[in-house]
Structure 1
Amino acid sequence: MITVRIGGSEFPLDDVLDDPGRYARQLERAKTTQGFAECGCTTARPRPKLVIRRHRKIFLLARWPEQAHHHGGSCPFHRQAQANGGTADSLDAFRMRDGRHDMRLDVTLVASTHTPTKTVQRTPTGQSSKPQRRSAGLLSFLEYAWEQAGLNVWPGSGSRGWSACWSQLTSELADGRINGKPATDLLHVMERWEPARKADILAAFDAWQARLTSTASCNPRGILIGELESHGASQYGGKLALRQNSQRYFMSADIYARLQASFGGALAAIDKPDQRCIIVMLIEKSRSGYLTVVDIAAMLANRQFLPCDSSHEVAMADYLVAHGRAFRKPLRHIGRAPVHPDFVLTDVNPEVVIEVLGLSGNPEYDARMAAKRQHYRQHGIPCIEWDALETPIDGLDLSKGGQTQ
């Protein structure tokens, strides 16, 4: 179990992340007297520092600038040391500038009321030879946010609910910029409904909605992240609801059809106790005041909100959690890595990759797996494979990949 030192006391880190309001007094005192908290994810001294960031009436923990790589590999605040900037990095859709996230999304954040505006923005065709910065879609943004918030990492013990997702996403992206605009003005991560904090939660959501009020010349848009509870057809297309409040969100028939076609695997998680469906939406207000979805993406996760690409991966994530293993789920938002393992065990040295085989027999899939195996062999990377179609997961031997640290 990873702990965090707040002032002179130790607390379970997952408890503080999942219920920051419970520790508001201790965090406020430490912020005032010491100025930071200390993570207990490693035996190294001094401990890695954590920023204590005020958010409305509570306090959240965030990564200390330039110290993320000092955290243990199974810590949600851990990141590999990033290379210095360069031409390639400066053109990335996701980059760091002055310690803050600078994100460029392939969406229109302000739609003109005078001329038709596409949901997705395109780079104008021109004669300039100057390289253009890349942009990313909503799914890539959601994966990037999840990874940067450490929500693709499991420490090997503890628990994680939606409040931890909210607190880690909120603290991680608070100082970021999206298409040159402050993320705090555009992005709202839904907070878990708590009757005791009803007024604060509703006030925050209403303030975000107020920014979407149309003017004579434009319709401002915002980005919303939450957990999907239900979806269905409506009179003019589709509608959906999130678990965090009773608000309804509406979309055209085309967008609803695209959601079902592109993210059917994630949508299938609804009503399954071992699965979650995370939604990111680009939203504007209709003239009648309804919240209208103009772009949307969905991501499948297990009950601890670890992202997964299939129900077979959900089974693997649950198996690793049940066996007390520490691991991370690599995400594909950039795609620069030569291969993308399904999971990586971080509690062994060297780390061990896990591949979940779910489409064996498909020629294209088998060719990709052959390339992965060759890469692992050439680089001496231990690998465990599980054929989900042929082998019960209870028979999987996790010990053959390496020795637990």
Structure 2
Amino acid sequence: MFNVSFDGDTFPLSDVQENPARYVKRLERAKVTPGYAVCLCETDIAPLQLVIRRYGSLLHLAGWPDDGHRHKRGCAFYKDPNAAKPAGGGDSTAAIMATPAGLIVRLDVSLTLRETTSGSRGSPAQSSDRTSRRSASLLAFLQTLWSEAGLNQWTGLGTVRHWGLCNAMLLAEAGTALINGADAQKVLHIMRRFDEADRAAINAEFDAFIARLTIDDQGATHRGLVIGEINEIAPTQYGHALSLRQSARKYYAGSTLIDHASRAYRHAWGALGDRAARVVALPLVERTPKGHLKLIDLAAMLCSSTFIPCDSIHEVAMANRLVAEHRDFLKPLRMAPDDAMLPDFVLRDTDTPTHIEVYGMNGLASYEARKEQKRALRLARRVPAIEWNVDREALSAIRLPRVGAKRVAAT
């Protein structure tokens, strides 16, 4: 739908994002001269410059800093100027901070472990902070990365989003990130979309990342983070093996970790195998002396068929319907507990933004109290809302408001 230009030619943005290996040489030349690519999404203004950024063996396009609002709505580089403030804001003690130079993340897991003099594993090696900073869970980091990449929203253009686009948008945000003081490229591997023609290159790139997960000369064990879509979790003789759709590589875990994950991420776990949903994983892994990948920790995030994050399988159904009907909407992620009116979705194509609530825990006292509190706040603030009580109504019976006149005129 949108085109980009570099190395003296014009290309569909979707193809550049889905098939980055095809454009390595041309992007390498453009990175030298003139030093950037351009986005052609807007025809009424001068072409907008794009950053050409290397991550691993490939090069990717990212939006120019503070330029996102100038891109056309629906372009992968568009940033909503009315969206929530960046993670962390100006709080220097926040676990995740979005800065002009990129995300700065402090996780509550250790990416490096050092041996003590007795040979046992000692304290984790952490980056030194002048101020005491909080730490974030793996799930909080995954949600933040999703939000910063704009993958928690839909503009109503098209009905499909493949992993290749997710990979490109995530890399655009993670390319300059610091995670526990280390460059993201050294500790985070975002799986590429699998393509049989690129099998050797994809495997070589992943093997190069895994090769860095070693015990160094100082006795420190280096771990890594991987982002991909879960394909299967199968029992083994000693526990379980997890695999991702983008690679046949197995990640081995004991039953204790898998049992904990199944409880901590029960909605995601319950959706495994459901073709209407997707489950994205963020494993923390070590490489064993025999070269196997051992799961140390794991976060799992339930998503719709187009990778919109969801909190339940009923939200998946609603998100899938909104996409199928070409609605423009946002899925607010629950990283702001101070937001007393946080809805499940926000329709952005109505004249006044409309909240959507999916009620699936009816009867629970605390849930009912929270429901009434949010209703009262919306009434006081005159915020329109659509409610779906999953126990009483079929999703098809829910009437969504019409697209607003302003949005119709704009399209």
TM-score under structure 2 length normalisation:
0.86
Structure 1 unpaired stretches of 5+: 124-129
Q: What is the correspondence of 1:278-293 to structure 2 with a 5 Å cutoff? A: 278-293=280-295
In the TM superposition, residue 288 of structure 1 has moved relative to its aligned partner by: 2.6
183-192 vs 71-80, which moves further: 71-80
Question: Which residue does the alignment assign to 1:203?
Answer: 204
Q: What is the correspondence of 1:76-91 to structure 2 with a 5 Å cutoff? A: 76-77=76-77, 78-80=79-81, 89-91=91-93
Would you say 1:144 and 2:149 are equivalent positions? no
Larger relative contact order (C-alpha < 8 A, sep ≥ 6)? 1
Would you say 1:97 and 2:96 are equivalent positions? no
SS at match of 2:386: strand
Write out per-residue CA displacement over residues 265-312 of structure 1, whole angstroms, 9 at most, x where no aligned residue. 212222221111111011111233221111101011111111111110
Question: Which residue does the alignment assign to 1:340?
Answer: 342
Structure 2 unpaired stretches of 5+: none
In the TM superposition, residue 88 of structure 1 has moved relative to its aligned partner by: 5.5
Would you say 1:384 and 2:389 are equivalent positions? no
SS at match of 2:53: strand
In the TM superposition, residue 322 of structure 1 has moved relative to its aligned partner by: 1.0
Amino acid at match of 2:62: A
Cα distance in 2 between the residues matched to 1:267 and 1:345:
28
| Counterparts in 2 of 1:339 and 1:46: CA distance versus 1, 3 Å | farther
Question: Which residue does the alignment assign to 1:127?
Answer: none
| Counterparts in 2 of 1:343 and 1:196: CA distance versus 1, 3 Å | same
Question: Which residue does the alignment assign to 1:126?
Answer: none
- Residue 271 of structure 1 is aligned with which of 273, 289, 292? 273
SS at match of 2:248: coil
SS at match of 1:317: helix
| Counterparts in 2 of 1:285 and 1:300: CA distance versus 1, 3 Å | same
Question: Which residue does the alignment assign to 2:174?
Answer: 173
Query: Contact 2:57/2:205 (CA < 8 Å) preserved in 1?
Result: no
| Counterparts in 2 of 1:253 and 1:322: CA distance versus 1, 3 Å | same
Question: Which residue does the alignment assign to 1:133?
Answer: 133
| Counterparts in 2 of 1:119 and 1:354: CA distance versus 1, 3 Å | farther
| Counterparts in 2 of 1:374 and 1:53: CA distance versus 1, 3 Å | same
Query: Contact 1:270/1:277 (CA < 8 Å) preserved in 2?
Result: yes
In the TM superposition, residue 61 of structure 1 has moved relative to its aligned partner by: 2.2
Matched positions, count:
396
Write out per-residue CA displacement over residues 245-283 of structure 1, whole angstroms, 9 at most, x where no aligned residue. 111111122211101111222122222211111110111
Amino acid at match of 2:120: T
- Residue 299 of structure 1 is aligned with which of 295, 298, 301? 301
Query: Contact 1:62/1:171 (CA < 8 Å) preserved in 2?
Result: yes
In the TM superposition, residue 4 of structure 1 has moved relative to its aligned partner by: 3.7
Cα distance in 2 between the residues matched to 1:74 and 1:63:
14
In the TM superposition, residue 335 of structure 1 has moved relative to its aligned partner by: 3.4
Q: What is the correspondence of 1:1-400 to structure 2 with a 5 Å cutoff? A: 3-6=2-5, 13-21=13-21, 32-33=33-34, 35-38=36-39, 40=41, 45-46=45-46, 49-55=49-55, 58-71=58-71, 75-77=75-77, 78-80=79-81, 89-113=91-115, 114-117=119-122, 132-158=132-158, 159-215=160-216, 217-399=219-401
Cα distance in 2 between the residues matched to 1:86 and 1:165:
23
174-183 vs 395-404, which moves further: 395-404
Cα distance in 1 between the residues matched to 2:38 and 2:338:
34
330-339 vs 368-377, which moves further: 330-339
Query: Contact 2:344/2:358 (CA < 8 Å) preserved in 1?
Result: yes
Query: Contact 1:74/1:327 (CA < 8 Å) preserved in 2?
Result: no
Amino acid at match of 1:240: L
SS at match of 1:89: coil
231-240 vs 138-147, which moves further: 231-240
In the TM superposition, residue 43 of structure 1 has moved relative to its aligned partner by: 7.8
Cα distance in 2 between the residues matched to 1:348 and 1:52:
36
In the TM superposition, residue 47 of structure 1 has moved relative to its aligned partner by: 6.0
What percentage of aligned pairs have identical amino acids? Answer: 37
Amino acid at match of 2:282: V
TM-score under structure 1 length normalisation:
0.87
Write out per-residue CA displacement over residues 319-349 of structure 1, whole angstroms, 9 at most, x where no aligned residue. 1011111112111234343332111122233
Query: Contact 1:353/1:383 (CA < 8 Å) preserved in 2?
Result: yes
Cα distance in 1 between the residues matched to 2:342 and 2:47:
31
Amino acid at match of 1:383: A
Query: Contact 2:349/2:404 (CA < 8 Å) preserved in 1?
Result: no
Query: Contact 1:141/1:333 (CA < 8 Å) preserved in 2?
Result: no
SS at match of 2:362: coil
Query: Contact 1:232/1:240 (CA < 8 Å) preserved in 2?
Result: yes
| Counterparts in 2 of 1:12 and 1:332: CA distance versus 1, 3 Å | farther
Cα distance in 1 between the residues matched to 2:183 and 2:35:
28
Cα distance in 1 between the residues matched to 2:364 and 2:403:
26
In the TM superposition, residue 66 of structure 1 has moved relative to its aligned partner by: 1.5
| Counterparts in 2 of 1:218 and 1:187: CA distance versus 1, 3 Å | same
| Counterparts in 2 of 1:391 and 1:29: CA distance versus 1, 3 Å | farther
SS at match of 2:346: strand
| Counterparts in 2 of 1:256 and 1:52: CA distance versus 1, 3 Å | same
Cα distance in 2 between the residues matched to 1:229 and 1:110:
28
Cα distance in 1 between the residues matched to 2:349 and 2:11:
22
In the TM superposition, residue 28 of structure 1 has moved relative to its aligned partner by: 6.0
